[in-house]
Amino acid sequence: MTFDLTGTRAFVTGAGTGIGRSVALELARAGADVAITYRTHDGGPVVAELTALGRTAVALPMDATDSADVDRVVAHAAEALGGGIDVLVNNAGGLVGRRSVTEMTDEHWHAVLDVNLTSMFLVTRSVLRHMPDGGRIISISSQAGQNGGGPGAAAYAAAKAGMDGLTRALAKELGPRRITANSVAPGFIGDTPFQETFTPQDAQRAAIAGIPVGRPGVPADVAAAAVYLASEQAGFTNGAVIDVNGGAWLR
């Protein structure tokens, strides 16, 4: 089945690299025009890839934890896309660093929740002012939100679990407007700055060994789920958490 997103206006946060970049590109390949945000990775090269696909595209720097900046950037993105946003992908986030609970500072806890969960709230609230009925909200959570994550990831796991909870609340609140809200929960996804920065090679090998399909995930695996959730065919999928982990739950 091919998903046709022609005429769809998509907004993807944290899309300068990794999963966000792949999601933006797959949405564009399906026909969507795409606005992306970035903070630490320049979004310019991604916009070049999007426009090469024949799509309207814009990259905007944004601090997803700053309410005023979010509102400013979202308004700019909606204008650049022709006056609205049909699909939101909340991808901005990160582990920040590994800390055990006993060694975790208040500042670390709040930083991790802000960059993952608070950012989802701020961006979603802002985008809803520009989203017509029938829109799509897709949030990239994590397997960590369901299994507690790896060593030193308690704050990250809590934030990602919160994203799934907020997704379910949005699904109920916005359902009467035919706006669906769903999460995609990746397991081990290789070839991303996340793994390169936070997961030692021996831990990566152990994680891959525990995946029944015998390979790590790649950003395109997550992007494929996002494209489905953005499509007309997903109109009755609401409040779901889509696991993209190669069957890692089964071991």
Indicate which residue of 3, 156, 188, 228 is catalytic: 156
SS (H, E, C) 170-181: HHHHHHHHCCEE
Assign 51 to helix, strand or coil. helix
Does the CA dihedral 61-63-64-68 come out positive or negative? negative
Q: What DSSP assignment string belongs to 73-96?
A: HHHHHHHHTTS--SEEEE------
Tell me whether residue 38 is one of the annotated catalytic residues.
no
Give the largest Cα separation in the chain, rounded.
51
Encode 124-161: b = buried (16+ Cβ within 10 Å), e = exposed.
bebbbebbeeebbbbbbbbbbbbeebbebbbbbbbbbb
Helices (H) and strands (E) in the chain, counts: 10, 7
> Which residue in 185, 90, 179 sits closest to 139, CA to CA?
90
Query: Where are any strands of DSSP class E within 126-223?
Result: 136-140, 180-186
Helices 18-29 and 219-230: crossing angle in degrees, nearest 10, is: 50
Active centre residues (catalytic): 156
